Amino acid sequence: MKKVTGIYCLTDTKNGKLYIGSATGEEGVAQRWGNYLDSKHGCNKKLIALYNEKGSEYFEEYFTYTLIEYFGLSYDPKKILEREQYWKMCFNTIKNGYNDN
């Protein structure tokens, strides 16, 4: 995962809500998912609110991680962000999930 960037989905298996995100950094998906494993919320507003309400155990028990699309580290980050927006629209995660933008 250190050698790929891409679009991922966090799934709350208790309520079915999704969070769509992207990883474009030098260490790719591994670095981004590491942020979630450490903080549980990855500094995302709606996930922070859920963390404050339910605690870290909720994330450990009910959240799964899925890589939706992957690209090489040299792939254009702007195109990755465009694909992230596409998946947010497909899954309607701003209205019915944990995305807020």
CA distance 34 to 1: 11
What pTM was estimated for this model as a whole? 0.93
Domain boundaries, the chain: 4-96
Architecture of the domain delimited by 4-96? 3-Layer(aba) Sandwich (3.40)
In order, the DSSP letters of 55-96 are -HHHHHHHEEEEEEEEEETTS-HHHHHHHHHHHHHHHTHHHH
| 52-95 pLDDT per residue, tens | 999 999 999 999 999 999 999 999 999 999 999 999 999 999 99
Q: How much is the average pLDDT of 37-43?
A: 92
Distance, in Å, from the CA atom of 6 to the CA atom of 68, rounded to the nearest integer, reads 8
